[in-house]
Amino acid sequence: KAGVTQTPRYLIKTRGQQVTLSCSPISGHRSVSWYQQTPGQGLQFLFEYFSETQRNKGNFPGRFSGRQFSNSRSEMNVSTLELGDSALYLCASSLGPGGGYTFGSGTRLTVV
Amino acid sequence: QKEVEQDPGPLSVPEGAIVSLNCTYSNSAFQYFMWYRQYSRKGPELLMYTYSSGNKEDGRFTAQVDKSSKYISLFIRDSQPSDSATYLCAFPTQGGSEKLVFGKGTKLTVNP
């Protein structure tokens, strides 16, 4: 059974650019969440989607956005990149509310 | 006061030692308790998921919850070099959302 797949694994972008990260959840999972992990702040919740609807959003600026498609695949977008956006971005999927989350290996974003 | 406090370590122990990892939390609304393990360059993987106060055992791992003290622990018996990883406590929030609040993680090294 395939796990949560995140693409790309590594990304280098220039300050001011925008970036789109992709997440394919485990087959049958309808809930997808995104987290940002940095050495200073640890893992912080970005947003959560269930059946294409955003159910919750973390305390991040509007430059961070996401969406979920009908096949449960999800993307997150960061516009006007800042140096501080350099982080590991993790996607996690679940069957639904109350289920345990399975994380992908993440996308390592470096902003220069 | 931070919502979750976790000693970052690092913690270094010899093979076979008993390891104790701890988190304190301040939010009384937390009703579920998780421990994740994260290997280098990987996403977190769920180790233990518990609801009630008391102990829950799974092989060499025991999760302990004390709701009255807002304190949770993870014990690893007969630790192995393969247990070397970062351990994160996590707390699902209420309201049907699956937003997880994480501790910053404790980096554990088990030396052969």
- Tens-digit pLDDT profile for residues B61-96: 999 999 999 999 999 999 999 999 999 999 988 655
- What percentage of chain A exceeds 90 in pLDDT? 87
Taking CA atoms, A40 is separated from A26, A35, A43, B105, in Å, by 30, 14, 9, 11
| Per-range mean pLDDT, top range of A39-43, A82-86, B96-100 | A82-86
Which residue of B41, B49, B98 is in closest CB contact with A31?
Answer: B98
User: How far is residue B85's CA from residue B35's CA, in Å, rounded to a whole number?
Assistant: 12
In this prediction, residue B51 carries a pLDDT of 83
In this prediction, residue A2 carries a pLDDT of 79
In this prediction, residue A98 carries a pLDDT of 64
Mean pLDDT is lowest, of A27-31, A32-36, B21-25, for: A27-31
Burial class (CB in 10 A: 0-12, 13-18, 19+), B112: exposed
Taking an 8 Å Cβ-Cβ cutoff, which residues of chain B contact chain A? 34, 36, 41-46, 49, 88, 90, 96-105
Partner-chain contact B88 A43, CB within 8 Å: yes
Which residue of A97, A99, A103 is in closest CB contact with B96?
Answer: A97
Partner-chain contact B99 A90, CB within 8 Å: no
Task: Record the tokens describing residue A55, joined without a space.
Answer: 């159910």
